[in-house]
């Protein structure tokens, strides 16, 4: 766990480690060199992150047969972060394709639509899907009090459906995918379709139904997250984070000096509203959960609890627990084919969604 550089640069370091995995595949010599530089400290990491990521991402995009990103605003005259990047699958001609919608992580207060884990490109390439990565207003933005962050995700989903014909997207085959805080937002959007208090009012005329959700090590229960984090710290398995709980930023809770992961100052109604399981019912889309057993950022118990709750209401789901896995996709040793098969099975489920965009 990186503490010297704070939570923001911890996120950047994690992205660089994931990109190293890709570099090893494509340009081994450069990968070794970059590993050595990464170990040299945070100053290099900040200054070189942009060019370093571009090398890895270009290789992954090319291998996945995806176009270069085209940026769109999903809210007319909206905030600068209400934008998305569209990567069109170019391998074969087809009028409309499924789309993976990637939601970046970063504790709800960091990251951007360029922070895409290579696995999203790999899944899109193998499945022959289009790919979209969205930005959203961050939790510490004064223009976005809770639950505006969720409104943005749903506004993006409606925009995608309303513009599906232009983009060559099948509006009934949208897959949400995210990691960490992005997995939380993906789960919340997938399981709360039609919940008026989380919908917002942008881009009316389309639903926010999706066909499946693929979630990497997300926090799904805010109350138990605080308990699990403190338990892991007290047991000695994990170090105490050098920052307050990001849940305080997400839910606009007053900060406290009594325990960095104390959320007692939060409104319990907001805590409950932020939990995806609050909205669970048997009509929800299939969910693919992945979590490392040595994750010290978001404990594995978060995915296990959501898995159990999905089982209880009869929603098809899989939980992949990875022994030794940490809070980064590259540590999980995942088979992309397994994810693609899960997604494709969701396309032939008996429940067929009807897009409002047609």
Q: Is 0.75 topped by the overall pTM?
A: yes
* Band (181; pLDDT cuts 50, 70, 90): very high
pLDDT digits (tens, 9 = 90+) for 225-267: 878 877 777 777 777 665 567 888 999 998 766 555 668 889 9
More confident residue, 51 or 221: 221
Q: Let me know: does 158 contact 202? Beta carbons within 8 Å.
A: yes
Q: At a CB cut-off of 8 Å and minimum separation 6, what does 213 contact?
A: 175, 176, 177, 186, 187, 190, 191, 285, 286, 287, 288
For 70, the 3-state DSSP assignment is strand
pLDDT digits (tens, 9 = 90+) for 182-219: 999 999 999 999 999 999 999 999 999 999 999 999 99
* Residue 48 confidence (pLDDT): 30
Between the ranges 37-46, 123-132, 252-261, where is the mean pLDDT highest?
123-132
pLDDT digits (tens, 9 = 90+) for 18-36: 443 444 444 444 444 444 4
* Residue 242 confidence (pLDDT): 52
Mean pLDDT, the chain, rounded, equals 83
Average pLDDT of 68-93?
95
Strands 287-292 and 212-216: parallel
The proportion of the chain whose per-residue pLDDT surpasses 70, expressed as a percent, equals 78
Cβ atoms within 10 A of the Cβ of 256, count?
A: 14
Dihedrals phi, psi of 298, to nearest 5 degrees: -130, 110
SS (H, E, C) 160-176: HHHCHHHHCEEEEEEEE
* Band (17; pLDDT cuts 50, 70, 90): very low
How long a stretch of residues is the chain? 358
- CATH number of this structure's domain 67-347, picked from the four choices 3.90.1150.10, 3.30.1360.120, 3.30.2130.30, 3.40.50.1820: 3.40.50.1820
Q: Please state the domain extents for the chain.
A: 1-63, 67-347
Q: At a CB cut-off of 8 Å and minimum separation 6, what does 339 contact?
A: 119, 123, 214, 288
* Band (307; pLDDT cuts 50, 70, 90): very high
């Amino acid at each position: 766990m990186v503490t010297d550089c704070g939570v923001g640069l911890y996120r950047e370091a994690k992205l660089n480690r994931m990109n190293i995995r890709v570099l090893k595949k494509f340009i081994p010599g450069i990968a070794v060199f970059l590993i050595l530089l990464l170990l040299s400290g945070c100053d290099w990491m900040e200054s070189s992150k942009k060019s370093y990521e571009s090398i890895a991402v270009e290789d992954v995009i090319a291998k996945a047969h995806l176009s270069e990103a085209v940026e769109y605003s999903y809210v007319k005259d909206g905030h600068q972060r209400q934008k998305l990047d569209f990567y069109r699958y170019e391998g074969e001609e087809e009028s409309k394709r499924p789309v993976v919608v990637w939601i970046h992580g970063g504790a709800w207060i960091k990251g951007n639509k360029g922070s895409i884990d290579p696995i999203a490109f790999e899944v899109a390439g193998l499945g022959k899907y289009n790919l979209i990565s969205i930005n959203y207003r961050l939790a510490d933005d004064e223009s976005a009090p809770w639950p505006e962050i969720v409104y943005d995700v749903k506004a993006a989903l409606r925009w995608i459906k309303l513009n599906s014909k232009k983009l060559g997207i099948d509006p009934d085959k949208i897959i949400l995918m995210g990691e960490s805080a992005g997995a939380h937002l993906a789960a919340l959007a997938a399981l709360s379709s039609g919940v008026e208090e989380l919908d917002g009012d942008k881009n009316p005329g389309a639903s926010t139904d999706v066909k499946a959700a693929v979630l990497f090590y997300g926090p799904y229960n805010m109350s138990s997250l605080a308990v699990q984090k403190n338990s892991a710290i007290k047991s000695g398995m994990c170090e105490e984070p050098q920052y307050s709980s990001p849940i305080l930023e997400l839910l606009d809770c007053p900060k406290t000096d009594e325990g960095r992961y104390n959320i007692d100052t939060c409104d319990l109604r907001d805590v409950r509203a932020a939990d995806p399981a609050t909205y669970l019912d048997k009509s929800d889309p299939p969910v693919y959960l992945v979590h490392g057993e040595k994750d010290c950022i978001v404990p594995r118990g978060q995915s296990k609890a959501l898995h159990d709750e999905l089982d209880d209401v009869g929603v098809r789901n899989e939980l992949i627990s990875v022994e030794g896995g940490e809070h980064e996709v590259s540590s999980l040793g995942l088979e992309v084919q397994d994810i693609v098969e899960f997604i494709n099975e969701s396309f032939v489920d008996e429940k067929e969604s009807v897009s409002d965009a047609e």
